[in-house]
Structure formats: C-alpha cells, structure tokens
C-alpha cells in the first residue's frame, strides 16, 4: 500500500482522518430520455484510518512495511502477498507459492522475467482448478458456491481481535480483498480469473509482442482455456489467449485449434474476423466439418446469401444427402425469421433427407460430438475423421423445427414433420408423450382439434398413427394436470396448434396454471429464476390493467419497487413499467376526448419519472413502447429526445471503447434490438413525411390547400430534430449491431430511402438485401421503387414544360397534368421504367441506374461509397 504525503492546509484540518480511494465500475447505466444524465466511468470508495496525526498514521504503517509514493519498491512482492491472502474455494498449493517466491528471488532484475515467473504460477494454479472442477459433480459445485457466499457475507470465522502487527497487516489485506470482491461475487475459479485479467490487459494495451509473457505461455493459456468445462469461461479464455497469439502476426494455429478460436470469435460477435479466418483456410483444410463450421459462422453473422453459396459448395464437394443437424436447425430458424419460406422449405426437405440417410436417435442417448468435449488426437487425420463423423438428428431437432414453422404459421411443413415422427418405427409411447408436452399440444381444448389437422399428413391408413397420438395426448394431459382444469377453464385453452406456437408466453402461463391452479403468484418466491419471475409479474400486471384494476396494478408495482433481493438489487425492472406505458398509450389512441388524451400523456410521463427516480436501467422494450406512443400522438420532441440520446450513447461508447481496459469491455453485446430499430425507423419515416423532399408538386388534388395548412401546423410543433439520417441508421443497424431485417422490415427501409430520394443508397440496400441477407425483392416493392422513379420523371418533365411556357406564354393545360401524361406515354412506349423480367438482375435496379446516368450522373460516385460503407464488394 502506498501513502501520499499531505502538506496543504486542508489536510492539516483533517489530521485524524486519511482517505484511500479505490475506483470501481457502477453496476449499470441507462440511456437518458428527457434529461441528460451524466454517468461517470468510475466512482470513488473511501477507506478511513484514524490516528493522533498524519505523521503518526504514516509512522505506524511504515513500521508494518508500507511505503510512500516516492519510493520505488518491487510490485511483485505485493502481488505475491495478494496471491497468499486471496480467497479460493480450493485448497491452495503451498509448494507452488514457495516455488514462485524462489523463482522471483533468482530472477534477473528485469520486470519481464519476473512477470513470466508470476504468470507461470497463475497458469499452473489455473490448470489445477480446471482438473478439480472437471472431477466435481453438480452437487459439489452447488455446495462450494454456498460456501463462497458464506465467506462473502462474513459468516465465516475471522479473528475477533488484533493482537500483533502481523494480525493488523493480515486484516488490512483481507479487508482490501473483500472490498475488491464486493461488486462481483467470488468466482469458483479465482486463478483462471487472474489469468483472464492479465491476458485482457495485454490485449487492450497491445503488448503481445513486448515479451512480457512468452509465446509458449500464451499457447499454454489457450490449452487450459479449451479444457474449462464452463462454457462462458471457456469461450472467454480461448478468445483472450487466441487473440493475443494472432496479434503477433507470425502464428497460425492448426485447423482444429483454430476452430476453437473461430467459435469464440462468433460467440462474442467478432463475425468479420471469424469469416476471414474461415475463408483463408477453406481450400487448405477442404474437410466437411470445416465447411459446416463456416456455415454456422455465416448464419450467426447473418450472411445468409454467403451461407447459401457455401451450402451449394458443400453439396458439390461432399454430397447432398446429409448436412449437420445443428446447421440445418439454425438455418431453418433464420430463413423463417426473415420470411424466406422458399429457403426454409428446401432446408426442411434436406433435414428429412438427412434423417433418411443416417436415421435419428433419442437426445438422451446421443453420443456424438456434442457429448465428447475432451478428445485427444494423435494426428490431424484422426481429428478430421472424428469431426467428419455424421451426427444423427434427435427428436429435439424435430421439435425445434416444428416450433419454428408453427411460429411463422407454416402449418403444412410442421404437420408433415410431426407425422413423419409419429409414423417412425423408433418412436415409443414415452417419447411421443414427451413430444406432445414439448410442443404444448396438451393445451388444445380436445384431441379432436389435433386429429383433424393431422389426418391429411398420416396417409390413407392413418388409424394407427392417430391412435398412437391419442394415447400420447391423453398421457400428456394427465401428466401436465390439464384434465382437471379442462371443464372449468375450457375458455383459456387453445383451438388449434398455430395459436399455441404464436403465443408462447401465454401458453407457458396456462401450463403453469394447469400444474398448480391454486398457486398464488408471490413475487418474494426465489425458487423461480429471475426471468421467469419477471415474466410472471408482467402477466399479472397486464391482467389487472386489462380488467380495469389500475389501482391494484399500481399497488403491485409499488410492492415490487419496495422488494429487495439484496442490498443493491431491486426486483422491479423496465419491463414492468412498460406494461403501464402500453396500457395508457393504447387508451390514448382509442380516446377522442382531448382531456382524456392529456391525462394519459401525464400518466405515461409520471411512470417514466417514477422509473428514472429509482435509477433503473432502461431497456429496448421500454424505449420501443415510448417511441411508439410519442409517434402515435405526434410528440416529435420527446420522440427525438429518445432517438438522439440512443445515438449519442452509441457514439460515446464507440469513442471510449478503445480506451477502456476493463475486462468487461471485451464482452459487451448490443443493447439496441430489432424491435427498437423498427421504431427508430418508423419515427424517422413519419418525421420525413412532414418535410419537403425537394421533388415539388407532382400531382394536385382537390384537398391540396387543407393538406398544406395541416402540414405547416405539424411542422411548427417540432422543435427537436433527428441528429442522424437513414444512412446512419441503416449502417449502424446492420454493420455495428448485426441486426437481421426480415422482408417486411427491408420493405420499410427501402421505402424510406425512396421517399428521401437517396437513389445511390437504394441501390446499395437492394444489393445488401440480396447478396448479404439472401432475400429477393418482391413485385410489390419493385412497383413502389418504380413509382418513386415515375415521380422523379414527372418533376423533370414539369420543369421542362415550365421553361417552354415562360418562353412562349402559349400553354393552356395545367403543367402537372401535362407532365404526368407525357411520362405515362414514355412508360407505355418502353422508353423508361421497363420491366425486364427475363433478365437475371432486377428490373428496378436497371431503371434506377438509367435514371441516375441520365439525370443525376454526379451521384454515381455515391453508389460506390455506399457499397464501401456497407462493406459490399
């Protein structure tokens, strides 16, 4: 510990108190809505030592071995003392610690030699931790967690009195260690955490080549990280050590080890680097398992067009009768997510082809690669043979893919899969009952509803399949206790299977009610997970508000606010406040009374202020609801207060991310989700509809005067304007936050660019949509794009006719009507806006290029710039 000398007048006044400050990161921060909130990166914590004077405190501490800032003692002594006093759930290796002290005494004076000796100790202790935790069962881990919690809460025995200087020294170190661990619960793997901190610091400061630790030690850290049985720890260690090795610029791992590093890059969102490593080694490795890994990277990176090409390439090289179930399951989910139903059908057929090729097995008896975490290979060929082994799909894959299809209302594919599973000779009564439970089919009002939908898919002689399903349905009904509530609460059960899949939360609540209909929701119960408890309370609040029990709902919210799970953690969160915002917003939209609308606005403002006063973290769900409300009532000032704050926050994070050396900064994930981006887009779209896009009048209607007056009135209400445009929004969304828009979202995006006449970015977005997301432009969107180009041609023709009129004064027909007829004639004759449906390229792309070349040639360079911004070749 280092004590600064104080000599100014202020310190002389406070002679009997000294301050020692430790900085720590706040537990959380949130984006401000209506007020600017300053979030400090660090806050100060104070430790106080009392004495007769400053000199006496310094003298007593010096006697214990502490030194002042002016003295340059070795830091390794302090680190060794830290290792000696730090807490660990495992028994410490005294021999290793003695060896470390001896190595430090014998090491040369250079700091690097001592650092290598220290890191060697950390590596050996980390390896011991991995071996010990591998041999532990779940009960042992739980028991050890309980013991560490006892230590943190101070229930373990500590010295009640200090009788010597050594006791005082030990107590100070112990208190400092407890303070250090106060914000983060003590880890089961403290030495591995120490290893991570060292690796993180070397990464953040770009010190890989500075010889602080050796390449061999980096490799050892990588090998230890691979063996950690806890997934998140393993991925973190592989990423940190792997990044350090690759930053040397002269190391490339073998394909098997590199696949671990690529997996960790994908886990933490470094998709571009993962794809680069995969592609540069693709031809050299040339193994099916490498291509399967590459397909997973493409899917996680939302590069669906590249996934399609890679899948075709895999078929050419290794045959089209098999594909990894993990790849297919993820790909079908992604294709359905973006509503690419043609692609999802093709992949579902490939899944069934895989089943017919290698069969399927029960998930509990699966002994494939997933069940073999630690496998040692003697050579590369043995590794390739193992990794190329064909995995059998399981009933869990069937269930997941059926659920994906049902959620998107693709009932035909879902029922076809279910029928094939029912008719399989490998399925038994217990397994089929479990399938019914997993799909929540027991929540149907009766078996007749399921029978009617299944019969067409079970073939002509379907009686055997229907009987098997009936027995499984009845078994699931009894097992899940639905029979008892079916007569009394028949109205809460579902009429068809698509209704179950499209409302998963409601189905979950009905299932929970069926299992225990007398259970009263108690927010103080801790046997539920935090997420389950939160969802349960949301549904309770929704039910109360839906039944006009607002006072009771507010009382429940107050109880949640007062409920404390710990000294710094509140049970309430942003989702609970969002329920009230949605409720009041819905009432405001339905009301025709201005006083009532104003009342609901004030109630929403009160809810926002109520949440802000408790310093709770805002989330994307709450911000989406607020944006939706403010947009619906035309409150653009509040709307863009939120929107601009979000982008200011993202910009600030981007500017400071390179300076923050905290381990946490390495692993932060995006906070702005797809639904929030959709609300951001709609807000900007509505805003732009109130302002002139420079096109002028292209069609005069009978209510033109009233429309202009209303537009002027709406503009006068707007005092806060967006600090970004469509380009910033789209680039941030798809490149920075890796959001995958579906077909409907892309339609809204492209319509926005068309309305503001940003034709270079329309071209870039269409290319991104097709070549990155793998989506085709439908005829409806093509017509909208061509309609925007038509207005451009009308405006150009209008100006040409205006010049003629001003020169000859001989023009009786209104200019706009004449311009429109002229453009329509040119379209009919095929001079402009042709429909080249035979061409492989989009007709609307050709039409945009023709327009830009003829009338906006100066913007051609912007097309290339837009493609570069989106990183499209």
Burial of 232 (0-12, 13-18, 19+ CB in 10 A): exposed
* Chain mean position to CA 277: 23
Q: Taking phi first (over 0 means left), then psi (-120 to 50 degrees means alpha), and beta for anything else, what does residue 108 get?
A: beta
* Phi, psi dihedrals of residue 444, rounded to the nearest 5°: -70, 155
Per-residue model confidence (pLDDT) at position 730: 94
Q: What is the pLDDT of residue 669?
A: 46
Angle at 289 between CA 285 and CA 291, to 5 degrees: 70
DSSP state of 247: T
Instruction: With a cut of 50, say whether residue 664 has pLDDT above it.
Output: no
Distance separating alpha carbons of residues 465 and 421, to the nearest angstrom: 10
Taking residues 558-582, report their average pLDDT.
76
User: Which has more confidence, 262 or 15?
Assistant: 262
381 — pLDDT class (breaks 50, 70, 90): confident
Residue 99 half-sphere exposure toward CB, CA atoms < 13 A: 12
Which pLDDT belongs to residue 165? 47
Residues 6 or more apart whose CB falls under 8 angstroms from that of 696 comprise 795, 798
In sequence order, which residues have a C-beta less than 8 Å from that of residue 799 and are 6 or more positions away?
A: none
Using CA atoms of 363, 369, 374, 375 in order, give the dihedral in degrees to the nearest 10: 140
How many helices (H) does the chain have, and how many strands (E)? 41, 4
Q: Which residue in 827, 675, 663 sits closest to 748, CA to CA?
A: 675
pLDDT given for residue 53 in this prediction = 74
Q: In which band, very low, low, confident or very high, does the pLDDT at 511 lie, cut at 50, 70 and 90?
A: confident
Per-residue pLDDT tens digits for 151-190: 444 434 444 444 444 454 455 445 444 544 444 444 667 8
Distance CA 275, CA 295 (A): 10
Higher pLDDT, 474 or 188: 474
| Residues 86, 177 contacting (CB under 8 angstroms) | yes
What is the C-alpha separation between 66 and 5, in angstroms, rounded? 13
Q: Are 172 and 1 in contact (CB under 8 A)?
A: yes
What tokens were used for 258?
A: 């590199």
DSSP letters spanning 427-456: --HHHHHHHHHHTTGGGBS-HHHHHHHHGG
The residue behind tokens 């310094």 is 58
Above 90 in pLDDT, residue 759?
yes
pLDDT at 48: 57
User: Which single residue is written with the structure tokens 């061999």?
Assistant: 216
Q: What angle do CA 550, 554, 559 make, to 5 degrees?
A: 150
What does 375-435 look like in DSSP terms, one character per residue? ---SSHHHHHHHHTPPPPPBHHHHHHHHHHHHHTT-HHHHHHHHHHHHH-TT--HHHHHHH
The per-residue pLDDT of the chain, averaged, comes to 79
Task: Report, as an integer, the average pLDDT of 331-345.
Answer: 95
Q: Per mean pLDDT, which of 44-48, 142-146, 612-616 is the most reliable?
A: 612-616
Residue 657 confidence (pLDDT) above 80: no
Reported for 169-175, long-range contacts at CB under 8 A and 24+ positions apart, including other chains, are 169/64, 169/65, 170/85, 172/1, 173/81, 173/82, 173/85, 174/85, 175/47
**CA torsion 480→484→486→490, rounded to 10°?**
-110
Residue 578 pLDDT level (bands cut at 50, 70, 90): very high
Name the range with the highest mean pLDDT among 11-15, 524-528, 538-542, 810-814.
Answer: 538-542
Closest CA to 304 of 667, 784, 746: 746
Q: Is the pLDDT of residue 324 over 80?
A: yes
298 contact partners, CB below 8 Å, separation of at least 6: 275, 304, 306, 307, 310
CA 730 from chain centre, in angstroms, equals 17
Residue 195 has a pLDDT of: 92
In angstroms, the CA 94 to CA 41 distance is 38
d(CA 83, CA 67): 19
How many Å apart are CA 761 and CA 495, to the nearest integer?
46
Mean pLDDT of 262-283: 93
Q: Model confidence over 59-94: pLDDT tens digits?
A: 776 766 665 544 444 555 545 555 554 555 445 556
pLDDT at 368 over 60: no
H/E run at residue 24: strand 17-24
> Is the pLDDT at 801 greater than 80, yes or no?
yes
pLDDT digits (tens, 9 = 90+) for 715-744: 888 899 998 889 999 999 998 888 999 999
- Please report how the helices 636-656 and 674-689 are oriented relative to each other, as an axis angle in degrees rounded to 10: 130
Within 13 Å of residue 748, how many CA atoms lie on the same side as its CB? 16
67-68 and 2-3 as β-strands: parallel, antiparallel, unpaired? parallel
Instruction: Answer for the pair 47, 3: CB distance below 8 angstroms, yes or no.
Output: no
Q: Check residue 494 and report its DSSP letter.
A: B
Q: Which residues pair with 67 in a beta bridge?
A: 2
CA dihedral 578→580→582→588, nearest 10 degrees, is -150
Helix, strand, coil tally for the chain in percent (to 5): 65, 5, 30
Q: Is the pLDDT of residue 463 over 70?
A: yes
pLDDT at 225 over 70: yes
The pLDDT value recorded for residue 232 is 87
Predicted confidence (pLDDT) per residue in 826-844, tens digit: 999 989 998 765 555 578 8
pTM of the model: 0.74
pLDDT at 209: 85
- pLDDT for 371 beyond 70: no
Return the CA Rg of the chain: 33
| pLDDT tens digits, 2-12 | 434 443 433 33
What is the structure's pLDDT at 805? Answer: 74
C-alpha dist (Å) from residue 692 to 376, 689, 793, 859: 67, 8, 17, 20
Query: Is 70 exceeded by the pLDDT of residue 646?
Result: yes
d(CA 760, CA 777): 17
From residue 848, give the alpha-carbon distance in Å to each of 289, 754, 836: 42, 11, 13
* Beta carbons within 10 angstroms of residue 632's beta carbon: 14
* Residues 330-342, mean pLDDT to the nearest whole number: 95
In whole angstroms, give the CA distance from residue 86 to residue 192: 13
- In which band, very low, low, confident or very high, does the pLDDT at 659 lie, cut at 50, 70 and 90? very low
Structural contact between residues 327 and 298, judged by C-beta atoms closer than 8 angstroms:
no
The predicted pLDDT at position 84 comes to 57
646, 626 contact by CB (below 8 A): no
pLDDT of 700: 67
Indicate whether 45 pLDDT > 50.
no
């Amino acid at each position: 510990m280092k004590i600064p000398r104080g000599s100014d007048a202020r310190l002389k006044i406070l002679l009997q108190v000294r301050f020692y400050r430790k900085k720590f990161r706040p537990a959380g921060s949130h984006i401000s809505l209506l007020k600017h909130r300053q979030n400090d990166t660090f806050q100060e914590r104070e430790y106080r030592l009392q004495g007769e004077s400053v000199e006496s405190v310094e003298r007593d501490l010096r006697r214990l071995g502490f030194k002042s800032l002016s003295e340059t003692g070795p830091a390794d002594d302090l680190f060794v003392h830290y290792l000696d006093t730090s807490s660990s759930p495992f028994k410490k290796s005294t021999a290793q610690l003695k060896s470390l002290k001896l190595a430090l005494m014998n090491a040369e004076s250079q700091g690097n030699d001592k650092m290598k000796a220290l890191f060697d100790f950390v590596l050996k202790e980390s390896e011991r931790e991995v071996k010990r935790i591998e041999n532990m069962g779940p009960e042992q881990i739980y028991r050890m967690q309980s013991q560490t919690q006892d230590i943190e809460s101070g229930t373990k025995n500590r010295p009640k009195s200090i009788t010597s200087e050594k006791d005082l020294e030990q107590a100070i170190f112990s208190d400092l260690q407890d303070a250090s661990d106060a914000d983060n619960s003590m880890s089961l793997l403290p030495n591995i955490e120490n290893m991570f901190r060292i690796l993180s610091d070397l990464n953040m400061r770009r010190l890989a080549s500075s010889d602080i630790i050796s390449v061999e030690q980096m490799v050892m850290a990588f090998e230890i990280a691979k063996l950690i049985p806890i997934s998140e720890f393993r991925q973190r260690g592989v990423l940190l050590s792997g990044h350090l090795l690759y930053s040397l610029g002269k190391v490339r791992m073998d394909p098997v080890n590199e696949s671990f590093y690529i997996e960790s890059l994908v886990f933490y969102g470094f998709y571009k680097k993962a794809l680069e490593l995969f592609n540069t080694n693709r031809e050299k490795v040339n193994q099916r398992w490498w291509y399967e890994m590459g397909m997973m990277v493409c899917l996680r990176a939302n590069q669906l067009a590249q996934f399609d090409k890679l899948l075709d390439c895999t078929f050419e090289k290794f045959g089209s009768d098999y594909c990894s179930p993990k790849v297919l399951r993820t790909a079908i989910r992604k294709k359905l997510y973006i509503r690419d139903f043609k692609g999802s059908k093709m992949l579902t057929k490939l899944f069934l082809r895989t089943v017919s090729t290698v069969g399927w097995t029960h998930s509990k008896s699966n002994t494939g690669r997933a069940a073999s975490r630690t496998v040692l290979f003697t050579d590369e060929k043995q590794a390739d043979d193992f990794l190329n082994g064909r995995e059998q799909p399981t009933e869990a894959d069937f269930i997941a893919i059926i659920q994906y299809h049902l959620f998107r209302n693709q009932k035909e594919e879902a029922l076809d899969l279910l029928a094939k599973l029912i008719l399989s000779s490998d399925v038994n009564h217990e397994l089929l009952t479990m399938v019914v439970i997993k799909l929540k089919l027991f929540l149907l009002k009766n078996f007749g509803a399921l029978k009617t939908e299944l019969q067409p898919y079970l073939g002509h002689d379907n009686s055997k399949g229907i009987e098997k399903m009936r027995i499984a349905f009845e078994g699931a009904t009894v097992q899940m206790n639905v029979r008892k509530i079916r007569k009394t609460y028949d109205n809460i059960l579902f009429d068809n299977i698509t209704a179950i899949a499209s409302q998963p939360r409601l189905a979950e609540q009905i299932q929970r009610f069926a299992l225990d209909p007398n259970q009263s929701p108690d927010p103080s119960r801790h046997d539920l997970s935090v997420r389950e408890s939160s969802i349960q309370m949301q549904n309770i609040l929704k039910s109360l508000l839906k039944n006009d029990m607002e006072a009771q709902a507010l009382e429940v919210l107050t109880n949640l606010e007062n409920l404390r799970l710990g000294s710094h953690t509140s049970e309430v969160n942003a989702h609970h406040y969002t329920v009230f915002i949605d409720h009041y917003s819905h009432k405001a939209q339905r009301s025709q009374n201005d006083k009532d609308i104003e009342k609901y606005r004030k109630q929403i403002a009160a809810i926002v202020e109520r949440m802000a006063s408790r310093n709770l973290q805002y989330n994307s769900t709450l911000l989406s609801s607020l944006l939706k409300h403010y947009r619906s009532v035309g409150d653009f000032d509040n709307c863009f207060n939120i929107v601009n704050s979000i982008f200011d926050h993202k910009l600030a994070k981007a500017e400071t991310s390179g300076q923050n050396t905290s381990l946490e900064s390495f692993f932060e994930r995006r906070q702005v989700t797809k639904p929030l981006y959709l609300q951001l887009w709609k807000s900007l779209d509505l805003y732009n509809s109130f302002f002139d896009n420079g096109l002028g009048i292209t069609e005069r209607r009978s209510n033109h005067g009233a429309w202009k007056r209303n537009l002027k009135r709406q503009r006068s209400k707007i005092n806060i304007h967006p600090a970004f445009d469509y380009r910033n929004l789209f680039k941030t969304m798809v490149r920075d936050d890796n959001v995958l828009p579906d077909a409907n979202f892309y339609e809204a995006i492209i319509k926005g660019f068309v309305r503001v006449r940003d034709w270079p970015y329309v071209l870039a977005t269409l290319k991104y949509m097709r070549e990155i997301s793998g989506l085709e432009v439908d005829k409806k969107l093509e017509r909208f794009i061509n309609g925007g180009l038509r207005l451009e041609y009308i405006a150009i023709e209008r100006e040409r006719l205006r010049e003629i009129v001003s020169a000859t004064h001989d023009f009786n027909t209104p200019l706009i009507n004449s311009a429109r007829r002229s453009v329509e004639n040119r379209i009919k004759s095929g001079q402009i806006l042709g429909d080249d449906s035979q061409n492989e390229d989009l007709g609307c792309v050709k039409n945009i290029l023709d327009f830009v070349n003829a009338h906006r040639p100066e913007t051609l360079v912007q097309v290339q710039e837009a493609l570069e911004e989106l990183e499209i070749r």
